[in-house]
Amino acid sequence: MAQRVFFLNTLHDGVTPDEYESWVRQVDYPLARGLAEINSYVVTRIDGHLGGDDPKPFQYLEVIEVTNVDEYRAMMESSAEFKGLIEEFSKYVATTVALYGEVIDD
């Protein structure tokens, strides 16, 4: 079964969506998409709630399909390149909620 990791992110005050999205395109995508543990990776800007005008709790959703969650975790802990990416990420993102799970196949 495919496994996915989800990050729900909110930017720091003063960081614009254009700044963050430029970094995602120029730095994050090339590095992350080149890692053997990642099958696919997309970032989505959250524009609002489908059901109304409630304030959105997060600004971005990252969806990462991984080869295996344990392999992904091990890479996160051992890769100096990935640790550098996370340091840069933290300059843009103030809060993040990280979740993972298995895709329900038909």
Q: Residue 26: inside a domain, yes or no? A: yes
30: in domain: yes
Whether residue 103 is contained in a domain is answered as: no
Q: Which domain holds residue 2?
A: 1-38
The answer as to whether 68 is a domain residue is: no
- For residue 34, being part of any structural domain is answered with yes
Question: Does residue 64 sit within a domain?
Answer: no
Residue pLDDT, tens place only, 74-96: 999 999 999 999 999 999 999 99
d(CA 49, CA 67): 31
On whether residue 22 sits in a domain, the answer given is yes
Q: How far apart are the first and last CA of the chain?
A: 11
Number of domains in the chain: 1
Q: Using one digit for the tens of pLDDT, what is the confidence trace for 1-35?
A: 789 999 999 999 999 999 999 999 999 999 999 99
Tell whether the torsion through CA atoms of 12, 64, 66 and 105 is positive or negative: positive
- pLDDT above 90 covers a percentage of the chain that reads 87
For the record, the structure tokens of 49 come out as: 């709630």
Tens of pLDDT along 41-58? 999 999 988 877 778 899
Instruction: Supply the mean pLDDT for the chain.
Output: 95
User: Are 97 and 8 in contact, with CB atoms under 8 Å apart?
Assistant: yes
Please report whether residue 60 resides in a domain. Answer: no
The pLDDT, as a whole number, for residue 54 is 77
